[in-house]
Chain A
Amino acid sequence: MEHKTISGRRKAYGGVMRVLMLFSVAVTCALALFLIGYVLCKGVPNLSWELLSTKPSYLSGTIGILPDILNTLYVVIATLIIVLPLGVGAAIYLSEYAGSKRLVAVIEYAAETLSGIPSIIYGLVGMLFFCQFLNMKTSLLAGSLTLVIMNLPTVMRTTQESLKTVPQSYREGAFGLGAGKWRVVRTVVLPGCVDGVVTGCILSVGRILGETAALLYTAGFAHALYGFFDGLQNAGATLTVALYVYAKEQGEFEVAFAIASILMVLALLINLAASLTGKYFKKRRSL
């Protein structure tokens, strides 16, 4: 009976909209599936222990990506070590210390601006400032510092979100017992950051792993093997940069796809980690 009261035109409208929605969802899912499938099918067969465990050799004409894997690891570690204290500190300042609303607005606006700046511009300014002005040359450290600025807003935002969930009464309780501000921050506020720090870490790692344009001219594209501290002072390609160089400059598509499949698996893992920790924190909060 209900259906009879709806005119044909309205039914057609509903139908068309439904078809459009289903079509769009299908396109989105198909794209994701195709990309995973294609990259893994083309890349995984090219993965070999030799590729993963050696460095490129001109003598034997072989390509190995161990240096690129290590460089990626170094960049991730160095960036996180620097960006976490900075981002958490900035978030604590905003939620605990800042008195003037105007200053908070300025800082938040700056953070939003940073997250909108394209990575090629970070790369350019990183090259001018870190590599040339601070005389770091093209090095993993210069690349990491560039990525620090890029990821600062992310860590700051996730930490701020998690600080919002620390109940005001905890802080008041601690103040009431005579604790100073710093003590309250240390004992009550900081433990509340853990969720935000973990989430921020995961998001940043994802972004660092996928970053190329900002690293191309700050970290360079060498493939030498170094330890952590030597590595930071020298130029080196991360996996994404190596992929770009192998695909675009050298036409080594097999190696490029092998790297792409590694990056794809890492992206899947990062997504999994993000959704699992998200669920875990939500559950814990609702307890």
Chain B
Amino acid sequence: MKSRKRLLENTVHGIFLILGLITVGSVLLITVYLVISGIPAIREIGLVKFLFGKTWDSSAAEPQFGILPFILTSVYGTAGAILLGVPVGFFTAVYLAKAAPTRLKSVVSQAVSLLAGIPSVVYGLVGMLVLVPGIRKVFHVADGASLLAAILVLAVMILPSIIKVSVTALESVPREYEDASLALGATPTETWFRVSVPAAKSGIAAAVVLGVGRAIGEAMAVMMVAGNVANLPSLFQSVRFLTTAVASEMAYAGAGLQRQALFSIALVLFLFIMLINATLNFFLKRSKEG
């Protein structure tokens, strides 16, 4: 009887252990698959030629596989989105966490969660029909599907994550800090920006890094507004991001080097993301400790 009970307990323990390890297994699976399928093309093309080649022409008679345009576009696009999205997100977060009356706070928070819940294809669709023609008209360019359109869409898409994480960080600043500052004669606004914000800086940094991750990983919305031509990035030109490079050719890439090169692009994107994740973890840990 007793041994049967122990057997049951051990089995249950084992089952839960396996369930617990599924996440680890999934991460390993993803890493292993990307590395295994990404390496061959890089080997064949040559690492330097692959990463720093300026031309991508996968379907030509003499195909060229240089992904520098994609890398630079992803970097510029993300930087642009951060440049526009972070200030708006930051000030909104400070207002929500510190200044907003309760009623208004709940309304604005709802708006923010709504922005977070809108599917990326809907952002893409609105971008396609509002931003792209808008850019064409305002800047008198031939086609509005451009890096600028992608930056604007991405800036809106990363807003909610930046706001949410920053608000959480700002709200966990100890009340005493602010009280002390107020008691010393600082105005509420000075207190928020000179005491609360510095105290929450790790959390806010984490919010920015999270935004970077979101922006660099977004595929669908960007695919719909950026035009998808493998140009070196320029604000009013049609460009292709790392994510969209993978997505746009996957449908018709046959076997062979062209398909393998797509996996290599995914591997590069994955390495970027891992780097960003590590940075994010660093800041999150610091904000927990601080």
Question: What is the interface residue range for chain B against chain A?
Answer: 35 or more
Residues of chain A in range 214-240 having any CB-CB distance to chain B below 8 Å: 216-217, 240
Does A153 belong to the interface (CB within 8 Å)? yes
Q: Which of B17, B26, B91, B281 contacts A20 (CB 8 A)?
A: B91
Given contact pairs A17-B189, A209-B119, A213-B220, A128 touches B114 in the complex (Cβ within 8 A)? no
A/B pair count, beta carbons within 8 Å: 250
Q: In the docked arrangement, what's the CA distance between A134 and B134, Å?
A: 46
What is the CB-to-nearest-CB distance from B94 to chain A, in angstroms, rounded to a whole number? 6
Contact B95 A39 (CB under 8 A): no
Contact A247 B125 (CB under 8 A): yes
Q: In the docked arrangement, what's the CA distance between A263 and B119, Å?
A: 7
Residues of chain A in range 19-48 having any CB-CB distance to chain B below 8 Å: 20-25, 27-29, 31-33, 35-36, 38-39
Q: Which residue, of A18, A118, A247, has the highest number of chain B Cβ atoms within 10 A?
A: A118
Contact A21 B126 (CB under 8 A): no
Contact A25 B92 (CB under 8 A): yes
Q: B residues within 8 A CB of A263?
A: 118-119, 121-122
Does B13 belong to the interface (CB within 8 Å)? yes
Q: For the complex, would chain B's binding face be called helix, strand, loop or mixed by DSSP majority? A: helix
Residues of chain A in range 52-81 having any CB-CB distance to chain B below 8 Å: none
Q: In the docked arrangement, what's the CA distance between A29 and B95, Å?
A: 13
Closest to A209 in B: B119
Contact A152 B23 (CB under 8 A): yes
What is the CB-to-nearest-CB distance from B19 to chain A, in angstroms, rounded to a whole number? 3
Question: What is the interface residue range for chain A against chain B?
Answer: 35 or more
Contact A118 B243 (CB under 8 A): yes
Q: Which stretch in B41-49, B60-68, B270-278 binds the other chain?
A: B270-278
Q: A residues within 8 A CB of B92?
A: 21, 24-25, 27-28
Q: In the docked arrangement, what's the CA distance between A156 and B24, Å?
A: 13
Q: Which of B90, B123, B269 contacts A118 (CB 8 A)?
A: B269
Does B250 belong to the interface (CB within 8 Å)? yes
**26 residue pairs bridging A and B, Cβ less than 8 Å apart:** A6-B187, A22-B95, A25-B91, A25-B96, A28-B111, A29-B107, A31-B156, A35-B122, A85-B19, A89-B20, A90-B16, A90-B19, A94-B20, A112-B277, A113-B277, A117-B217, A119-B217, A120-B269, A121-B217, A121-B269, A129-B33, A185-B12, A213-B220, A216-B250, A248-B128, A267-B117
